[in-house]
Amino acid sequence: YNDIISFYEADAEQLPFPDNSFDIIYSNMVLGMIPNQMATIKELARIIRPGGTIAISVHGPDHYKEAIEAGLKSLKIRYYFSHRLEYWPRDEKKIKTFFTDAGLDKIRTERLTWIDKFENGGQVFDFFSASTGLWWYHRLPSELRNKEAEKTRIYFQHKNINQITSDVVFAVGYKPIDLL
């Protein structure tokens, strides 16, 4: 299968592939980590073949809102804000604009939102930390990581954070086939 599937590490804003290289591109929850999202969507449009499909999913505006709010209130801000939160979330209108501006056609978007309920805040924290990897903790000095994680877990329990909202925007678009 080596000739069917390949893995690359690359800058999403400057992909190392020729124009019109792929039939299908799928990106799942990546756009929120990229500074120039429009440049990335244009890169995807550049490397997709005419008639090809680009499908993405992104964090919606309410994604993990309870856990993020609790995390912001409990973490040492100097460590947490070393990340660029303005890259996400995105709503359907913004994603559709990205696709339109990249020259894609037949664009469809759908936003799905649901709430998961838990018995207590500790379970919410456990779910949140398992599903996000607590990506901000890598900025903490190693001697503080476990202490800060436990402090945050206790905060979730104390504030009785017992639910977490998942909010995902899905989008699909096609590169037009130029008819001469």
* pTM of the model as a whole: 0.84
Q: What is the pLDDT of residue 77?
A: 64
Tally Cβ neighbours within 10 Å of residue 59.
18
Q: What is the pLDDT of residue 161?
A: 94
HSE on the CB side for 66, CA within 13 Å?
A: 22
- Phi first, then psi: what are they for 72, rounded to 5°? -60, -35
Pull the structure tokens for residue 44: 């995807």
Q: What is the pLDDT of residue 1?
A: 53
pLDDT in tens, 75-93: 766 565 545 555 566 789 9
Q: Convert 126-145 into a string of H (helix), E (strand) and C (coil).
A: HHHHHHHCCHHHHHCCHHHH
Of 117, 119, 140, which is closest to residue 71 (Cα–Cα)? 140
Answer for the pair 79, 140: CB distance below 8 angstroms, yes or no.
yes
Q: Which residues contact 164 (CB under 8 A, 6 or more apart)?
A: 64, 66, 67, 115, 116, 118, 124, 127, 128
Answer for the pair 26, 55: CB distance below 8 angstroms, yes or no.
yes
Of 106, 113, 107, which is closest to residue 93 (Cα–Cα)? 107
Q: What is the pLDDT of residue 135?
A: 57
Q: What is the pLDDT of residue 143?
A: 80
Whole-angstrom CA distances from 141 to 20, 78, 83, 153 are 44, 12, 16, 18
Q: What is the pLDDT along the chain (180 residues), one digit of tens a residue?
A: 567 777 889 999 999 999 999 999 999 988 888 888 999 999 999 999 999 999 999 989 898 889 888 887 887 665 655 455 555 667 899 999 999 999 999 999 999 999 999 999 999 998 888 877 655 666 677 788 788 888 889 999 999 999 999 999 999 999 999 855
Q: What is the pLDDT of residue 131?
A: 78
Pull the structure tokens for residue 169: 């925007």
Four-CA torsion 122, 128, 130, 133, nearest 10 degrees = -130
Percent of the chain with pLDDT over 90: 54
pLDDT in tens, 45-78: 999 999 999 999 998 989 888 988 888 788 766 5
Q: What is the pLDDT of residue 33?
A: 80
Q: What is the pLDDT of residue 67?
A: 86
Answer for the pair 101, 38: CB distance below 8 angstroms, yes or no.
yes
